[in-house]
A and B are shown apart, each in its own frame.
Chain A
Amino acid sequence: MTELALRLPASRSQRLWRLLPKLSGTLFALLIAAVWLGPILLMVITSIKSNADFLAGPFSLPSSPTFKPYVDVWSGLGFDHLLWNSLVYASLGSALAVLLGLIPAFALARFPVPGKKLIFGVLLTGLMLPQQTVLIPLYDTLRAMHLLDTRIGLIIVHGVYGMPMQILALRAFMTTIPREIEKAAHLEGATDWQVFWQIILPLSVPGILVGYTLNFIAIWKEFVFGLVFLNSEANFPLTVGMLKLNSDRYISVFNLPAAGLVISQIPIAILFLLTYRKLSGGNFVGAVKG
């Protein structure tokens, strides 16, 4: 009995020592989450406060929660139109980027393309170019093609600008598809095009979805191209349209930009929820080995 009683506290402290790394890890994760979630929470809280309520205490909880800022920002800015524009740019721009990237990615993943290294270098350079450096040449090109201040112009810009990333991402994904599947298709009588269309493309859906989603988010958040290449309010995406919230008219209003930001993030959250399962992969199960 005595021995047992003596041993108990020691084992408890041992257990604590063993839990310590786990506990500190959890605490660290919570801290990081707080840093990330804090501003988002503040944005959501601000969006359901009246402006006076916000000015009385920017970090306090709303005294009487209201959705009026949402109604005001929706009708005041024509949010439905801005949302639609952003949706068009993001969905079609990403689709174009993926379409442009698919065949080069397949070629780079599976064929002995001459100058492969050089092509990779050029693609990586394309990724590293800051947007600002291509503004003037793109502006000139769009003007020459009479595509300035048009939706199709901005879609093409987004598509081309997103293509290098898509090629690299899709190529990386396609190289993970077991080569034997492709060989089996060739042996069954498939041409290169049939292998691409009937085998590689369906198997690349998770990769395509990842690339598409990331590009969609990038275009959704994009501001500079929209600002420089568009003049008509009717063509503005959300990011450019919301600039109005910083204009003199709303200079001291904080709840409206917050409500606008919350609305603007909803489509991204929906897209992520829709694609999350596909993004987690597991597509080749059953293809090879037992």
Chain B
Amino acid sequence: MAAVELIKVNKRYGGTQVIADLNLDIADGEFTVLVGPSGCGKSTTLQMVAGLESISGGQLLIGGRDVTDLPPKSRDISMVFQSYALFPHMTVQDNIAYGLKLRKVAKDDIARQVGDVSKRLHIDKFLDRLPKALSGGQRQRVALARAVVRRPGVFLMDEPLSNLDAKLRVEARSFLVKMHHELRTTTIYVTHDQAEAMTMGSKIVVMSEGVIQQAAAPLVVYNAPANRFVAGFIGSPAMNFIELNYADGHVIDAECGIRLAVPEPKRAALDRRAVARVVMGVRPEHFHVRPRDDRALVPPGSCWTIDVRQHLGHGTLLDIRNGPHRAVARSGADDDTLDDEVRSFAIDMDKAHFFDVASGLNLAL
């Protein structure tokens, strides 16, 4: 096991800066997920840690050792690729044992270690098969076994579940987490799937355009997003953003009849920054549809027209609008709204976020 430190790491392709001064500390035994949209630099970062991409500037430490210029084999790492990258001409046994053979481990030890890991990953029945005779899930476990068997200091995983179907993916997700609990090996996991990031990581690193937007525990990222990008990327359906005026401790859109009180301590933060206009972020589950007869409790300005209802079985998603503002609200399975109906919604203002209109920064942090 080993800690990983990226210190002012840069990556340039010709004149194009892909990663700019990236700093990241990954503690020994931590399961860190790099997450972000395509082209955000997460895979490039992982490839630099692996040694498959050169580092244009900065320093990379693994287990306190400077490995910036070392080849992959000298970094004490192993990697699971999105495509598994199994050796198609070798049996499962030979695939798993390949790294051990290269390290000239004794034959008996290789057989024992391969046996152990293949049993643990439930692939011990396929050891003499070629990869082409395995299903996607089995191939993925062989790739994992190959990575695990050497007991490296760091596991690197590049979207290892993205080729599995939805059911297998959920199973594999919990399997990986369980495996991490057992082995406690430092893991860097790359995905574009925010659900994977939320459920697997002990730390989430949200990236965009080669820059870390936020690195924190999953619930911290979810409940206290550093900026509008993070807020919009983490969570499904995405957070709703409503641009409003701010005055007297209220967010206001007079034309749409919206006037909502900002609770403390967010109100103090907005007052301190003396903003006149903010972007309010509200997650779908923090919109609450009111009963039809509950008019007395309706605060002014929270009437929204229902455009589309999406029944999910365990709940309902409502596409709603109020003037130029559009949002998605999450309602219960017993939702009684109708298409084009105008209903009042309560917004849980304690859970609302406020972002700077220009920079997108969370104003309350």
Contacts and interface: CB of A to CB of B under 8 A. Distances in A.
Interface in B132-150: 132-137, 139-140, 146, 150
A186 B88 contact: no
A284 B135 CA distance: 15
B87 A187 contact: no
Contact of B52 (A187, A194, A283, A289): A187
B133 A184 contact: no
A185 interface: yes
Contacts of B71: 186
Interface in B111-125: none
Contacts of A181: 85-88
A234 to B, nearest CB: 42
Interface string B97-133: 0110011000000000000000000000000001111
Given A183-B52, A189-B103, A203 B73 contact: no
A288 B99 contact: no
Contacts of B78: 187-188
Contacts of A190: 73, 98, 102
Contacts of B52: 183, 186-187
B199 interface: no
A219 B44 CA distance: 48
Nearest to B132: A286
Interface in A274-289: 283-289
Contact of A184 (B87, B140, B163): B87
B102 A286 contact: no
Given A285-B132, A290-B139, A202 B89 contact: yes
Contact of A194 (B72, B102, B136): B102
Interface string A200-219: 00110000000000000000
Contact of A288 (B72, B83, B98, B137): B83
Contacts of A284: 88
A180 B73 contact: no
A283 B136 contact: no
Contacts of A189: 73, 99, 102-103
B98 A185 contact: yes
Nearest to A182: B85
A181 B99 CA distance: 13
A187 B133 contact: no
A287 B86 contact: yes
B131 A187 contact: no
A178 interface: yes
Interface residues of B, number: 35
Nearest to A180: B85
A180 B130 contact: no
- Name which of B84, B88, B99, B140 has the most chain A CB atoms within 10 A of its CB: B88
A261 interface: no
A178 B85 contact: yes
B88 A285 contact: yes
Nearest to B77: A187
A199 interface: yes
A183 to B, nearest CB: 5
B79 interface: yes
A288 B73 CA distance: 22
B121 to A, nearest CB: 17
A180 B81 contact: yes
Interface in A254-290: 283-290
Contacts of B150: 188
B83 A178 contact: yes
B167 to A, nearest CB: 13
A288 B102 contact: no
Interface string B61-90: 000000000011100011101011111110
A188 B130 contact: no
Interface string A163-186: 000000000000000101101111
Contact of A287 (B87, B99, B164): B87
B53 to A, nearest CB: 10
Contacts of B51: 186-187
Contacts of A178: 83, 85
Nearest to A203: B89
Given A188-B73, A188-B98, A286 B134 contact: yes
10 contacts: A181-B85, A183-B72, A183-B81, A184-B85, A186-B52, A187-B73, A203-B88, A289-B83, A289-B136, A290-B136
Would you list the 8 A-B pairs with minimal beta carbon distance, nearest first? A290-B136, A286-B132, A286-B131, A288-B83, A188-B99, A180-B85, A287-B88, A184-B85
Given A183-B85, A186-B71, A289-B163, 4 more contacts: A180-B81, A187-B73, A286-B86, A290-B163
